[in-house]
Amino acid sequence: MQRRHLLSAAWWGLVAWLVMGVAALAQQPPSPEAQAFRYRFEPGTRMKYRVSAQLSGTLPLFGGLPVEKMTLEMTMALVVRQVRSDGNAELGIDMETFRAEMDGQALPLPLDRLRASLRDVVMVVTPRGEVLERKGGNVLPLQVPIPGVEGSQLPLLVLQLVFPEGALAPQQEWSYSRAMTAQTGDAPAQFTARWVQEETIHDVPASRFHQKMRWSRSFKADLFDLPTTDESLMVKQVDQTVQGDAQIWFSPTEGRLVRAVLDAQYEQHTRLLNPSEGATPPAPARLTARVHVIREELAAREPQSPPQKTQQQ
């Protein structure tokens, strides 16, 4: 009798385990299907984002400016000025707040001048995120000769990905290129991206992508390491490389970025073209940066420090 009770208990225990297992499987979200990802642009829309960046290393200024920690914080809005009949959008940018510190000391960058310099930025973008045209925003209150640190590039902080024409399958990888500077003749950066999985960021369903990039260029520069075609100002040969790794969360339903965390390594080697006798060759400049971008309405729900790098899958 006791054995019968034990067998019965074991049997019902097995049945319960199977039922619970099937129920758990039924509750799991279905695997995402292949889909085409697109940005959504509506005329007059203002998409506000909070951007924070931490940099350390050597800035390529004045022969190399060591920086233990430089922080940038800004709130900017991507403005859809117009949507053309072909679906491409004319985008502008508005800087609402900006603050910069270097080794704990605030940098005196007037917001009104910064906003004025960005007011004429216009970028024509396809729903896939491909940039067809860009103009304006080249004169900033502070010129830093680092690729991507240009006014005309700022909208790309919230347009990180260029999606393929067709549908993407989960875990599928694709490649694309994109200009890093407004300089004519500069080679574009090379990107690879992969759709990792579906996640929820502060109650917003999002697709997470892993992106890698690599870019390099060489040019003749003036005393301040800025590219020049004026032979009378050419004093240096500059070689720059940038490598980046990013995690990007995108809402397919809303057609816009939710959050992005970017890690980048910048390196610059400089050679004097006509060095005087006994001149010391400039030391290489190396800079690391972490950039955190999130929708302004979600920023208050983020931790005080940018999230750690997501485990690769």
DSSP E strand boundaries for the chain = 46-59, 65-83, 89-102, 105-106, 122-125, 131-135, 173-178, 189-201, 204-221, 236-251, 256-272, 285-295
In the chain, where the domains are located: 34-301
Q: Is 229 left (phi over 0), alpha (psi -120 to 50) or beta?
A: alpha
Would you state the pLDDT for residue 11?
A: 46
Written as tens digits, the pLDDT of the chain (313 aa) is 544 444 454 444 444 444 444 444 444 445 568 999 999 999 999 999 999 999 888 776 655 667 778 898 999 999 999 999 999 999 999 989 988 898 888 888 777 877 887 888 899 999 999 999 988 765 555 555 555 556 667 888 899 999 999 999 999 999 999 988 777 778 899 999 999 999 999 999 999 999 999 999 888 888 777 788 888 888 889 898 999 999 999 999 999 999 999 999 999 888 888 887 777 877 888 889 999 999 999 988 887 555 555 445 5
Instruction: Identify the CATH class of 34-301.
Output: mainly beta
The pTM for the full model equals: 0.81
C-alpha distances out from residue 61 to 67, 98, 110, 236, 271, Å: 11, 21, 20, 13, 14
